[in-house]
């Protein structure tokens, strides 16, 4: 089974993407094959494996980004479908797609799953300077979700008025565009000084969660920085 829909990826226009306003973003359908999407949706990691992140302070006075989170690490226990999909994410088709859309190969990928129950939200922000952007895959369908419950990534346009080191509310922006966030859709965007986006508060009933898988496209670290961070993480583990 193949998961990435190479035809759909090839049809995305990198030049049009890079000139999109208010910043580069695209919300295409079908970048996964129908069969692959369903196999991934049916075998998502169980919620008991996730770490709760609620009420954590953010910089610049922004509201917490509440969610349940699970980070991908090589060798972790996954369904056969997710294991195969992660190999495709590491492979040349997806790597070439990201390089073409962003115009650089100087990146590295980090992946994680986020589940968001009722009340969770993502306040408007521009992402960390260490990122080139992110690719969000949505995994809710009509079987488990209603559009009015929320979960859409919102593209926000400030017309250049706000410093990214600030905390505007959704209603402070000049315009807001909701992504399509149900079914086999994804959302790719580039991080820059005005790449404001967020997710309004989820209003689903108990027992439901917004479910996304996110490929974070990070600026590649230098060999020295990787070594330094490796030593620092080793020290933290041994000192604990």
Instruction: Compute the mean pLDDT over every residue in the chain, rounded to the nearest whole number.
Output: 93
CB 213 within 8 A of CB 150: no
Q: Which of 156, 152, 176, 151 is nearest to 166 (CA)?
A: 156
pLDDT at position 134:
98
Query: Could you read off the pLDDT of 184-212 as tens digits, one per residue?
Result: 999 999 999 999 999 999 999 999 999 99
pTM for the full predicted model: 0.91
Domain ranges of the chain: 6-239
- In the sheet with 107-116, reading across from the earlier edge strand, the strands are 25-26, 186-190, 131-138, 210-219, 107-116, 67-71, 51-53
pLDDT of 240 strictly over 70: no
Which pLDDT band holds residue 221 (cuts at 50, 70, 90)? confident
pLDDT of 231 strictly over 80: no
Query: Could you read off the pLDDT of 62-75 as tens digits, one per residue?
Result: 988 999 999 999 99
Cβ contacts of residue 92 below 8 Å, gap of 6+? none
- Alpha-carbon distance of 126 to 195, in angstroms, equals 5
List residues bridging with 116 in a β-sheet.
210
pLDDT of 229 strictly over 60: no
Residues composing the chain: 240
CB 91 within 8 A of CB 3: no
Architecture of the domain spanning 6-239: Sandwich (2.60)
């Amino acid at each position: 089974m193949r998961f990435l829909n190479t035809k759909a990826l090839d049809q995305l226009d990198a030049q049009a993407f890079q000139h999109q306003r208010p910043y580069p973003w695209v919300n295409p359908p079908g970048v996964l094959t129908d069969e692959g999407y369903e196999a991934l949706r049916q075998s998502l990691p169980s919620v008991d494996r996730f770490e709760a992140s609620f009420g954590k302070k953010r910089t610049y006075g922004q509201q917490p980004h509440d969610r349940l989170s699970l980070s991908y690490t090589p060798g972790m226990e996954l369904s056969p479908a997710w294991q195969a999909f992660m190999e495709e994410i590491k492979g040349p088709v997806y790597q070439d797609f990201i390089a073409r859309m962003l115009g650089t190969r100087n990146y590295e990928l980090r992946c994680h799953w986020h589940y968001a129950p009722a009340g969770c939200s993502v306040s408007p922000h521009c992402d960390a300077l260490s990122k080139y952007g992110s690719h969000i895959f949505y995994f809710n369908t009509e079987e488990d979700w209603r559009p009015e419950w929320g979960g859409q990534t919102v593209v926000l346009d400030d017309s250049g008025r706000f410093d990214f080191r600030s905390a505007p509310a959704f209603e402070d922006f000049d315009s807001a565009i909701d992504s399509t966030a149900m079914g086999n859709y994804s959302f790719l965007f580039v991080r820059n000084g005005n790449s404001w986006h967020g997710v309004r508060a989820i209003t689903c009933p108990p027992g439901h969660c917004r479910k996304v898988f996110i490929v974070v496209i990070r600026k590649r670290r230098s060999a020295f920085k990787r070594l330094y961070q490796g030593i620092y993480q080793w020290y933290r583990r041994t000192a604990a």
